[in-house]
Structure 1
């Protein structure tokens, strides 16, 4: 599982490089490190969302997602290593279907907001989209292995995972608005204050 840190202040990054899980060193602005950082920020934002009062099943799903994201960070940290696969994607798809089933169809765009938990879910969604863009950039520069170990251009399962996760976070924002007694904030085109 790569190198574990026993000492945090190593000073080895003072030169603008960082170590990957396989022991190699790269610049801190390398596409791989950027993608790892975006996934880490997403995981942190989900941690903030988890401090809110949430329905137990949503809390459990988000906690499982945090573990997935840590695994994804490990996958990104070790070139050629794979963790995220079809089972992870299927679980996201199941949650999407489950949580979307009871929501009214959208006829308008919605704005980020409503309850605090829903607004935080929207922040997580936008950070997730940024992580997705970083993973796409990484996949274009350095093809990643897929779950079978074969090299896949475009970042394969990691890209698909964050794409579906951003959809789930959008759906969960709607679920959390309802759970908190709120409702979707509908966009009003051309509205003047």
Structure 2
């Protein structure tokens, strides 16, 4: 409490015993649901970091929409959102993937995770999206959410490569042969 007797919004102390709360339940902080929510939160934070580093307005707009959709997904899996997550959002990601893939050189080899700061951050976000997807799969069977999480990492990979090309960084590739 502050001097006026108002509750502080930055901490509650409710989680001090290793439990967290969703709308419906009290859960151990190591539960699959809390892991999924935390992974999405971590992804959103890094997307914000990537947003701050890119100079591309179109990429900033995409990142903002993805962050918004991840809030909707977190609300849904935590039990706050009653309506289904729209499959249209996955179709939008697919259109973006196709559009940005058309702006970059095709590859047939593995690409080393190098490049400009904004590009590398998008690649980090790609790996975080994959991690979040693995936890979401454990706790949520809603096809629209699973499809969105799966496409998101593909979009982030294409944006990573787009950022590099746009800024003159040439991909370094690795051939497994």
TM-score (norm 2): 0.88
User: Hey, what does 1:144 align to over in structure 2?
Assistant: none
Post-superposition offset of 1:6 = 6.9
Length, aligned pairs only: 171
Q: Which moved more, 1:165-174 or 1:5-14?
A: 5-14
Q: Which moved more, 1:83-92 or 1:27-36?
A: 83-92
User: Hey, what does 1:143 align to over in structure 2?
Assistant: none
For residues 48-67 of structure 1, the C-alpha deviation after alignment (integer angstroms, 9 at most, x for no partner) is 10111321111111111111
Matched, 1:175 2:177: no
For residues 2-52 of structure 1, the C-alpha deviation after alignment (integer angstroms, 9 at most, x for no partner) is xxx973321111221111034x21111111111000011111110110111
Q: Do the aligned residues in 2 keep the contact of 1:138 with 1:155 (CA within 8 Å)?
A: no
Q: Do the aligned residues in 1 keep the contact of 2:75 with 2:81 (CA within 8 Å)?
A: no
Post-superposition offset of 1:165 = 0.3
- Tell me, in whole angstroms, the C-alpha distance in 1 between the residues paired with 2:58 and 2:164: 15
RMSD, aligned α-carbons: 1.9
* 5+ long unaligned stretches in structure 2: 1-6
Alignment of 1:1-193 (within 5 A): 7-22=9-24, 24-78=25-79, 81-139=82-140, 154-189=141-176
Q: Do the aligned residues in 2 keep the contact of 1:124 with 1:169 (CA within 8 Å)?
A: yes
Q: Do the aligned residues in 1 keep the contact of 2:87 with 2:144 (CA within 8 Å)?
A: yes
Q: Do the aligned residues in 2 keep the contact of 1:100 with 1:171 (CA within 8 Å)?
A: yes
Q: Relative to 1, partners in 2 of residues 1:76 and 1:112: Cα closer, same or farther, differing over 3 Å?
A: same
- Tell me, in whole angstroms, the C-alpha distance in 2 between the residues paired with 1:77 and 1:185: 41
TM-score (norm 1): 0.81
